Amino acid sequence: MTPADVTITFLGGLGEVGRNAACVEVDHKLLLIDFGVMFPDSTMPGVDVILPDTSWLKGRRSDIVGLIVTHGHEDHLGGITHLLKEFSLPIFGSQLTMELAKNKVTEAGLEAKTSFHPVADGERFEIGPFDIEVLPITHSVPESLCVILHTDQGVLVHTGDFKLDSAPIDGRTTDLERLEELKRGAGIRVLMADSTNADKPGWSPSESTIGETFSELFPLWADRRLIVSCFASHLHRVQQVCDAAISQGRTIFPVGRSMVNNIRIAQDLGVLDLPHRSVDSIENLRHYDNESVCVICTGSQGERNAALSLLSRSEHPEMTLSDQDVVLLSSHPIPGNELAVHSLIDTLTRLGCEVVHDGHAHVHTTGHAQRDELDHLYEIVSPEWYLPIEGEHRMLVRNAEVAIAAGHAANRCLVASDGDQLTLDETGLWVSGQVPAEYQFVDGLLDDLSPRLLQERRNLGEAGFVHVTVVVGKNNELVGHPDIATLGWLDKDRSVQVLAELEIEIREAVLSALDSKNDKEAIERVIRRKTGKFVGTRTRRRPPISATVIIAD
C-alpha cells in the first residue's frame, strides 16, 4: 500500500498577524491546528474581530475529527466560539489552554458542541487517523505546545508561537532534546515555524529578566499606588508583578474581566503561585493606603473598553487616578495599536500619573523567537522542508531567509499564503490547491459582515451621508420644499447657504423631470445624480446619496 499523502491547508495566519488556523488532512480526515482571531485596524469600522475563512470546511463537515490549540492566546484560540456555532468537534490542548477555552465556550453557551481533552507535555495520542505528540515550548503564555505529527510521510513539526527562553518562570523549557532525537531518527520532513519576529536580529531576553526590573523599580515608588497593565493571558508576567508587589507588602487587585477570570483559573490550576490572602477585590480598595496597593489590569493595548482606558477617562466606578499613582505598561503595542497606546499614555500623563513603559525601561520582552533563536531551532531540527508560518508576508520571507542563510536549499523553503493547500508526498512538499481564505468580519452577533458593507461604512466614515425627499402632487407638481437630511457631510447650521443652493438645484431638476414623465424611480435617479454632482463640486466629497420620491394621492 502506498503511504498516504499529507495535505496542509492554511485558512488564516499566512499574510497577517492573527487568525491563525491550519488544517491537516490524512486519509480524508481533517485536523485543525489553532483557530484564532485577528483584531481590526482603523480601516474596519465597527468590526470586533476577524476570523479564518471556513467556507471550504463547510463542505467537509463530516471529515473534521478535532481541533488542537497550541496555546491560550486570542490569535490561536479566540475564534473557537465562532467555530463551534458552525461545527461540532472535540478540542485538545494543555490543561491551562483547555480551561481558558472552556471559560469562553461556557460563556457562549456552546458546551454541547464540544468536549475538552487536556494533554500533557510529551504525551503521544491519536485523534482519528492522526498520530500526535505534543512538546513543551516557551512563549508568553504558560503551557504552550509544539505539535508533532507522525505520518506515513514522516514527521511534521508545528511550533505554534514560541521563543527559546532558557530561564522561563515555571522552569518548563522547550524540549529541544526530543526534537533532536526525532531528527537523529527518521529525520523531520517539515518544520513550520513562527515568523512574527523574523525581522529582529539576536536572541530575545528571557521573561525572567522582567522580574529583575520590577525588583529594581518597585522600591522607587514605595509610597505611591501602583497600577500595572499587561495581557491577562501573560500569567508569568502577572506572577512577576505579584511577586515584586507582595514582597513590598502590597495587596493585589485584579481589574478587568479577563484579568479577574484568568487569575482565578491560574490560581486554581496552580499555574499562578499567588496566596489568596494577597488578593482582594477592587470594591475593597478604599480600605487600603496607597503604598499597600498594586492594581493589575487589562488594557495595555489601549483597547477602548478595557480597564486602563476606563481609568484614564475617570470612568471606573471604584477608582480615580491622580498624581499619587504610577502606571506601568508591561507590554509593547501590537502593530496597528501604536496610536491608541500613545494616546492612552498621554491621557494618563495629563491626570498627573507617572507612566512607565517599554520605551524607556525594560518592562517587557517579546514572546516570539528572533533570528538567532529561529536559526538555533533550524539547526536542531534540520528539516527537509522549511515552511514559515504566522506572520505578514514580509515576516514569512524573512523567516525563510534565516533557514537559507543556515544552508537550507532555497527551493526547499516554501513561503505560502492564506488559502494555499500544500501536499507532502514522496516527491516533496508542493502547492496542490487553493481554497477561499477571505477575512471573515464579525460585528456583534453578525458573523459574516460582507466586504461590501464594510466599504459602505468606510464611505460613510469618510464623507457622511445625504438623503433627499421630494413629494410630487397628483397634478404633477412639486409639493412643498425638497427635504435634505444629512449626517456627517456638513454642519447644517453653518451651511444654510450651501443647502439652499442644493435645494434650488434639486427643485429645478425635479421640475424638468416632471415635464417629461412622472416615474418615481426615474425622478429618484435624477435627484441622486444632481445632488451627487453638486456635493462633489461644492465640497470635493463623495458621500453615499439616497433619494425618496413620494407620489401624493
Q: How far is the CB of 76 from Zn ion (least distance, A)?
A: 6
- Smallest distance from Zn ion to CB 306, Å: 18
CB of 100 to Zn ion, least distance (A): 12
Cell numbers describing residue 326: 504610577
H or E, element range at 145: strand 145-151
Q: Smallest distance from the beta carbon of 162 to Zn ion, in angstroms?
A: 9
> How far apart are the C-alpha atoms of 17 and 36, rounded to whole Å?
10
DSSP state for residue 5 in the 8-state scheme: P
Quick one: 73 or 398, whose CB is closer to Zn ion? 73
Q: Are 16 and 38 in contact (CB under 8 A)?
A: yes
| DSSP code at position 140 | S
Cβ closest to Zn ion, residue 161 vs residue 443: 161
Q: Please report how close the Cβ of residue 69 comes to Zn ion at its closest, in angstroms.
A: 11
The dihedral formed by the CA atoms of 507, 508, 512 and 518, expressed in degrees to the nearest 10 = -10
- For 438, half-sphere exposure in the C-beta direction (CA atoms, 13 angstrom radius) is 11
DSSP 264-299: HHHHHHTSS---GGGB--GGGGGGS-GGGEEEEES-
Considering beta carbons, is residue 138 or 312 the nearer one to Zn ion? 138
195 backbone dihedrals φ, ψ, rounded to 5° = -105, -5
Give the other-Cβ count within 10 Å of 53's Cβ.
20
Q: Which of these segments, 65-73, 280-288, 414-422, 511-519, binds Zn ion (CB under 5 A)? A: 65-73
Backbone angle region of 509, left / alpha / beta, with phi > 0 → left and psi within -120 to 50 → alpha: alpha
Least distance (Å) from Zn ion to the CB of residue 265?
A: 17
* Percent composition of the chain: helix, strand, coil (DSSP 3-state, to 5): 35, 25, 40
Nearest approach in angstroms of CB 73 to Zn ion is 4
Of 49-57, 69-77, 216-224, 447-455, which part binds Zn ion (CB under 5 A)?
69-77
Size of the site for Zn ion (CB under 5 A): 2
**Please, which residue, 143 or 524, has the CB nearer to Zn ion?**
143
| Spatial separation of the C-alpha atoms in residues 75 and 78, rounded to whole Å | 6
And the C-alpha cell for 334?
A: 501590537
Helix 520-539, helix 496-516: angle, nearest 10: 150
**How far apart are alpha carbons 491 and 488 in whole angstroms?**
8
* Cell numbers given for 184: 537523529
Q: Please, what is the minimum distance in Å from the beta carbon of residue 4 to Zn ion? A: 31
- Listed ranges 53-61, 159-167, 228-236, 499-507: which one lies at the site for Zn ion (CB under 5 A): 159-167
**Quick one: cell of 315?**
470612568
**Stretch of 81-89, 158-166, 497-505, 531-539 contacting Zn ion, by CB under 5 A:** 158-166
Question: Residue 390, interface with Zn ion (CB under 5 A)?
Answer: no
Q: For Zn ion, give the closer residue by CB, 145 or 260.
A: 145
Q: Which is nearer to Zn ion, 73 or 332 (CB)?
A: 73
Question: In this chain, which stretch among 160-168, 169-177, 189-197, 511-519 interacts with Zn ion, using CB under 5 A?
Answer: 160-168
39-47, 68-76, 524-532, 533-541 -> range binding Zn ion (CB under 5 A)? 68-76
Between 73 and 158, name the residue whose CB sits nearer to Zn ion.
73
Complete edge-to-edge strand list for the sheet that includes strand 385-389:
124-127, 130-136, 145-151, 154-158, 188-194, 385-389
Q: Which of 133, 161 has the CB closer to Zn ion?
A: 161
- CB closer to Zn ion out of 348 and 389: 389
Q: How far is the CB of 17 from Zn ion (least distance, A)?
A: 10
Q: At its nearest, how many Å lie between Zn ion and the CB of residue 71?
A: 5
Minimum CB–partner distance for residue 80 and Zn ion (Å): 15
Burial class of residue 537 in the structure, from the number of CB atoms within 10 Å of its CB (0-12 exposed, 13-18 middle, 19+ buried): exposed
The smaller minimum CB distance to Zn ion, of residues 161 and 420, is found at 161
> If binding is defined by CB under 5 A, does position 165 make contact with Zn ion?
no
The reply to whether 161 sits near Zn ion by the rule CB under 5 A is: yes
- Alpha helix positions (H), 74-207: 74-77, 80-86, 95-107, 176-184
Of residues 72 through 91, those in contact with Zn ion by CB under 5 A are 73
Query: Of 19-27, 154-162, 401-409, 527-535, which part binds Zn ion (CB under 5 A)?
Result: 154-162
How far apart are CB 139 and Zn ion at their closest, in Å?
A: 5
Question: From residue 271 to residue 310, what is the string marking binding to Zn ion with x (rule CB under 5 A)?
Answer: ----------------------------------------
The grid coordinates of residue 352 equal: 498627573
Strand partners, 465: 487
Q: Which is nearer to Zn ion, 207 or 443 (by Cβ)?
A: 207
Provide the H-helix boundaries in 364-485: 371-381, 393-405, 451-463
Q: Which of residues 210-239 bind Zn ion (CB under 5 A)?
A: none
Nearer to Zn ion, 72 or 256 (CB): 72
Task: List interacting residues with Zn ion (CB under 5 A).
Answer: 73, 161
